[in-house]
Structures are given as C-alpha cells and as structure tokens.
Structure 1
Amino acid sequence: MFHMKKASKLMLGVSVIFAITGCSTVSSSGPKKSNILNLANQDNPNHTQVVDVNEAIADQLLSFEKHALFSETWGGEAYSGAIGVGDLLQVSIWEAPPAVLLGGSLGALGSGHAQTVQLPVQMVDKSGAIQVPFAGRISVKGKLASQVQADIVHRLKDMANQPQVLVSTVQNNSAAVTIIREGKSVTLPLTPRGERVLDAVSAIGGVPYAADKTTLQLTRGKTVRSLPLIQITQDPRQNIVLQAGDVITSTLQPYSFTALGASGKAGEINFESQGISLAKALGRVGGLQDSLADASGVFVFRYENPEVLNLAENTPATNANHKIPVVYRINLKDADAMFYTQNFPMRDRDVLFVANAPITDLQKFLKVVSTLTSPIYETTRAVNLINATANALAND
C-alpha cells in the first residue's frame, strides 16, 4: 500500500529539488533592485551612472529644463532693416528744375518741371556695394536705406540741382528665416516690424497637427533648442524675435515613456509635449502594485546630457548624441519623495521601472512548489481514504 510516510518523503524531495533550482525557474519581470544599484560599481564601458534622487537633484533637473527655453537661451532686438549682400535694391533719383544732370537723360520721366530717373533693380554684390550712374560705386552693406540715400545725394549734389534719392528694398535676401515643415520649406524675409516665432508658423500656413503634439525646433548658429508649440502659445516670452539666418523646423513629436515592472500598468504611456512630472507619470500608471512592488526601488532609465549632472569633464559621452546612460533611483518610502517627484521632469523615451520587493521572489517560488506538490498531497489523501475504507470492510 501507498503510505503517508512515502508520500511525505516524495513531497520533501520535490521541495528540495526546487529549492536548489528555484532561482532559475521562477520568472521575473526585470532586474532586481540590487542589480541596478550595482551598475555604478561595475567597470562597464557604458559608464552608467546611478543617481539617488532627492530635492536638490530634482530641482537641478528642472532648472536644466528651464535653460532650454527660447527666452533663456536667446535675446536680441528686431531686424533693423540694414541692407545686406544679395538684397535687391531700387534706386530712384529726382532733380529739381531746372534739371542740369537729368534733363536729357534717357528714360527720364517728367514730374512737373522736375526730372526723375528710376534705375534698374540691382543686387548688392559680395563686396556689399551697388553702382549708381554719376555717383559711382556706393557701399551699402550694413547701412539703412536712409543712409544710402544720403550717400548718393552727397555724391550728386555738385552735379545735379537739389537732387533727392529714394532707395527701397525690392527683395530682402540677406535677412530671412527658413521654416521647414514636412519636407517643405518657406523663406520669411524679416522687416523692422520684428517677426516672431509664431509669425513664422503663420507664414507656412500653420501646422497640420494639434499644438500639444507639435514641436518647434529653432536653430540659431550652432545652438539648437526645441519647444512644444503649445508652450510657445501659452507663454508669450517664448515667442521671441527672430534673427537673420534662423531655421525653424516643425515636427510631429508625440511624447511617451515606457512603464515596466511592478507598476500598476505596464506599457507605453503618452503624455503632453509640455511635459509631466514623475508624480503625474506614476499616477497615470496607477501607482505601484502593493503586493509586488518595492517602494524603495523606483527607477527612471534615461540617456542624459552630462552637463545636467556636472559630469561633462569626468565622464565620456557614449552615444551618437553625446549622452550618457543614467539611472535615477527614487525611494517612495521617503515621505519627502511626494514633494520632489512633483519637480522631477519626465522626458520622451524614458523608461520607468518598479522593482519587485525581495519577498516577491519567495512568494512566487512557494506558489510554484505548492502547484507541483498539491496533486501529490491530494493523491495521498485519496490513498489513505481507500486504505481506511478497506480496513473497515476487512474488520467487518
């Protein structure tokens, strides 16, 4: 007969086997907290930094986000109207009667008894000058139209009777902004009115996407900054005056982060282009799973600019964008975390990972053992019941 003692031995044997192999058979939703924290201690080529987040770190990250604002990066005044190389100019000359210089000029137009000559449109050459009959070569680069007019009058005053000159810009090629959207580009000439970022958006016919999904990238010289369109519309300080040579690129930029591990909901989570805090990000995934999560093991994985953490001199950049891998660790068991997570900014393509509590692996292991040994236990009970019934019948 099958006795209870033999069944108990079998159950014990199974338990021992799984105790030995349990670490390799129990699945996990990601790395353990200890493995993540040890990244900083390993001599790995990625130079991964592990940073414990506190109020100072959160404020430092938020401050860096503010430095990326258009208003914090650039200043400057509106285009003055100065003439530049490549501009097309129209020069008109008037001479009071009796006309001495222009009286018999070819193409002269009578205006009362005064004479007027309108010169052909000409482009400012690479040396920054134009040619005016009788006045000679006139340097115009960097000057206002009124200054060029005065220069021409000064050259003609000894040859013409009370000359007057009008210089106008037919086409401004030297001071313009380029706007790019979906592979198409538009050139917006600048005027002394002072065109701004939203004027450039209007010049290209607006944007085809919602404002909270559209990002405007402004390139000026070697500096590049990007802001959500909705932030520019809501904060007039970001609608800065444009400068000659600026390039504005409009792109569809849906922002998202990925939640993994013992968070309330795993998956890719979209958020507004103006950004959200870590506190809001945790709220959108439903917080942490009480039965699984280690509240002291909340991590944000990100490729970070070295200068954000003052690491530019000591840590080499490791990817094509000159960024380094950084793991931010947040301890939600600390009550202060409820404050500084409101200042910790989430970024596009961040990975939010919540580690399992240490007891979770043991719970999973015991569940596996219970699942495997339960049939043996039930079989043992059935055999014992049969034996007891057989003995009772035999005694009868």
Structure 2
Amino acid sequence: MSTNLDIQARKTDAIARGVGMMTQVYADRAENSEIWDVEGNRYIDFAAGIAVVNTGHRHPKVIEAVKAQLDKFTHTCHQVVPYENYVALAERLNKLVPGNFAKKTVFVTTGAEAIENSIKIARAATKRAAVIAFSGGFHGRTFMGMSLTGKVFPYKAGFGAMPGDVYHVPFPIDLHGVTVEDSLNALTTLFKADVDPQRVAAIIVEPVQGEGGFYQVPTAFFKTLREICDKHGILLIADEVQTGFARTGKILAMEHHGVAADLTTMAKGLAGGFPLAAVTGRADIMDAANPGGLGGTYGGSPIGIAAAHAVLDVIDEEQLCERAVSLGNRLKQRLQSLRDDVPEIADIRGPGFMNAIEFNDAISGKPSPEFTNALRAKAQEKGLLLLSCGIHANVIRFLAPITIQDGIFQEALDILEASIREVRSEVGSKS
C-alpha cells in the first residue's frame, strides 16, 4: 500500500514545484463531506475542492447524470457537432442570473477561462481596452487573470510583465481601515490621474473576495459601482466563480445586494466536480464577438453540462440556499462563542456558508499567519481539512459541502473548537 509520504516523494520528483499543495493528504475515495486517504485515514472536508463540490462528493444525482451521458457520448466539440443539453443549460443560466434583460451564455472549461472571455467580450462590445479590478481580488492564473488579480505572491511573482491597461483600486474593508468612501475616492482619483473613464471597458469585482480573505462587498459600494458604470458606459463584471451556486445562501452572491451585472462569470460549484465554466450576460453584449471568437475544444463538455443540470436540480430540490444560511449561522455562532477566550480572533464573517475567521496577534494586533497555519495543521491532525487565505495569510475559510450531514457537521465544529483552544493554549504558553 502506498503511503502519503511515499507519494509525496514521488510528487516532488515528478510534478513542477509551482503546483502548490495545502496538504499532503492523498485522496483514495470521497463521499459527500468525507474524504479517505490512501492510508485509510478519514477526514471531514471543509474545503470542497475550493467551493467546487457544494453538492457534496459524488452526489447520487450528479453521478447518475454523468453515467447516463457517458453511455451516449463523451465529446464532439460543441463548435463542430453541437448538442441540445448545452442549449438547455444556457437557457437555465439565462433565467437564473440576475437582470431584467435578455441574456446569452457561453460555456468554457475553467474559471480563469471564463474571466478571460468576459474581458474579451467587454472589449469587443465597448471598443475600449482598459479594465479596473480591486486589490486583494483573485481572478485566475492566466496572464489576464494574473493581471486582474490584486495579489503579487504567489500569483504574479516571477512571471514578468503583465498585460497592460489594467488598473487596481483598494477594496473596501472596514477591518483594515479602508472605507467605501476611501475606495470610491481612489476610483475618482484613478479617473483623473491615470485613465479616462471613456477608455474603460469594464470594472470586475467579486461579490465576496475569495483568495483575498472572504470580504463581502458592501451593498452601498456595489450599487455605486453600478451607477458609475452606467454613467460612463462601462460594463460591470461580477466574478461569481467561487461565490456561485448556493454557497452564499443565494444562487449568485450579487442577489444579496439587488445589483445585476452586465457580465457574470461562473465555474467551480456549477458542475459539482466536473470541469465547466460559463459567462452569462446581456444578449447584445454577448453577441459582440464574431463567430469563432469564443469557445474552445473542451468548452461546454457534455459530461460537465450533464453534471451541471443535476447540480441545479439538487440545489432546488434539497433547498441548498436555505441550508447554506442555516449551516453558516451555526458555524458563526459557534465561533462567536470563543471570542472571549481567544483574543486572536479579529473577525468572523461571511454570507450563507461562505464563512471565514481572521486571526491577529493578541499583543501587537498585527495579522497572525502563524496562528492561522497552526490551526490548520492542528485541525488536520484531528481529521478536519481547512483552507487558509487572505493577503496576509491570516484567514481560515470554511467551504464544506452544503450537503454535509448534521452529525458530521457537529463533529467538525467540535474538532474546530478544540483545535482553536489548543492552539490558543500553545500560543499563550509562549507569550
């Protein structure tokens, strides 16, 4: 039997160093909210493949849909021999994505690819080049994705010059002393000092920053962005790659704010573990690109399309939006109960079941990646898989499947609390 250490040694020899790994737990099988590694160790999964398996590992309806598609065909390339399921899923997304206007959709394979295509579409529709993004934002590892991303290490470091005509302004985070007014003033200054708003094709924003630390966009800021875009003929792009498909308690996170984007990018939770991404937007904007300008060999894979239909059915039938709110409230209440005993807790936040806890040093008040990493390691020792994030690496993000069983969720909360208290005790004994 292979061990995790055996495979890790082989990985080091065989796989490029740039492929970072948060754990050395090599999966053997998974079911709903649980993963078993090659040594037979069982873990509760609070990562869900980074918000991909919102409907759980191997949901029976998703597996059934994929098996049925496998018995028909696996690939034709939609641009060569199209298939009806692609059209049907586009129709479903056109109805689900916010906005009281006609919409169209294109399917691709990854979130980064969806981002790339949203920029292509925006530039084609507006005949403008410039794009504005936000500090702390993450939009992928392709060159345009890196350029839009508001974090240098590890995403941009060492890769040379980024594509031009991309600008960043601070994302409003009260906890870090950046108000909505500060961000809007920075945008005004940008328009006066660096780029004419009449040259800006799009402003792209995550309704909840993912890699940046799970900071939710303030409603007032989101609505003002919409107004600014309308004033200057700029398109608003909502990056819903990580926030989509019941994770925040809504199908898409922008629904919390009553804002509709011109273009919306989606991936991750869309197909329950199978590669599929999409851009949905205003029909006239989506039609700006010439035939052949959008697509890709694997774009809209029939396997991913079949899985996505099942995922949307499961979200509706199992009321996963409502369940996300319930689970998130239980998690946040449990974490809040620890605040008096754990002064390192700086913030607990997040809509629905897209939640995070941020840690600062209890004495200096500065971000504490040390506490955060110690907690992640301690929880893993106890059988709970956690992910960290944030520009200071001091945030633990919680992304368990929304289908997690109540008993296993309670078990995970107990492990989480015990781990936090143990790390606090160890930190306290050293201070």
Q: Same fold (TM over 0.5)?
A: no
TM-score, structure 2 as length reference: 0.19
The structure richer in helix per residue is 2
> Could you state the TM-score of these two structures normalised by the residue count of structure 1?
0.20
Which of structures 1 and 2 has the bigger CA Rg? 1
Larger % of strand: which? 1
